[in-house]
Amino acid sequence: MKEFAAIDFETANSHRSSVCSVGVAIVRNGVITDRFYSLIRPEPEYYYYLNTQIHGITYSDTMNAPLFPQVWRQIEPLIEGLPLVAHNKAFDESCLKACFRTYQMDYPGYEFHCTLRGARSQLKGLPDYRLETVSAHCGFSLRDHHHALADAEACAWIAIQIF
């Protein structure tokens, strides 16, 4: 797989629809060629302390941010025709589907691949299969873990190596 879009969401609370940021890394011919990042006003619009502790995003950061449909209109043309890749796709895919449901948008049935699952099957002997561990093993230094774009880039780097 040489062409795909790696995607990562951060959430404000335990609701999968509460995405507060998204990062996308577009890969063409095995190289990251484009990047997209945006804050998003979450739905529901409140933050759990633990979520903020993980990613550092607060209510004041997103109170004037665009809603998911506005952000997705910018992402759609970038990912058109590309499979999506995420590290632990169960989380990111469920966030995407929850946002589509919340905003009553028709979900187009994106093809999703999982670098977590791929790493577990292809890379034996790692101490764990967390994003920062696997990306470091693949030669990518993840310096801003839980920033959606940094995580999407790390995921893309892993996918380039293992798929």
For the chain, what is the mean pLDDT? 98
The set of residues, in sequence order, having a beta carbon less than 8 Å from that of 46 and lying 6+ positions away, is 12, 13, 59
Helix axes of 89-102 and 68-79: crossing angle, nearest 10 degrees: 120
Q: What is the pLDDT of residue 150?
A: 98
pLDDT band at 66; cut points 50, 70, 90: very high
Average confidence (pLDDT) over 128-139: 97
Domains of the chain, first to last: 4-162 (3.30.420.10)
On whether the pTM is more than 0.85, the answer is yes
Structure tokens at 29: 């011919």
pLDDT tens, residue by residue, 1-51: 899 999 999 999 999 999 999 999 999 999 999 999 999 999 999 999 999
Signed CA dihedral, 141, 147, 149, 152: sign only? positive
Look at strands 112-114 and 84-86 and give their pairing. parallel
- Say how far apart CA 78 and CA 27 lie, in whole Å: 10
Look at strands 31-39 and 84-86 and give their pairing. unpaired
Percentage of the chain exceeding pLDDT 90: 99
Q: What is the pLDDT of residue 162?
A: 96
pLDDT band at 124; cut points 50, 70, 90: very high
pLDDT tens, residue by residue, 75-104: 999 999 999 999 999 999 999 999 999 999
Q: What is the pLDDT of residue 19?
A: 98
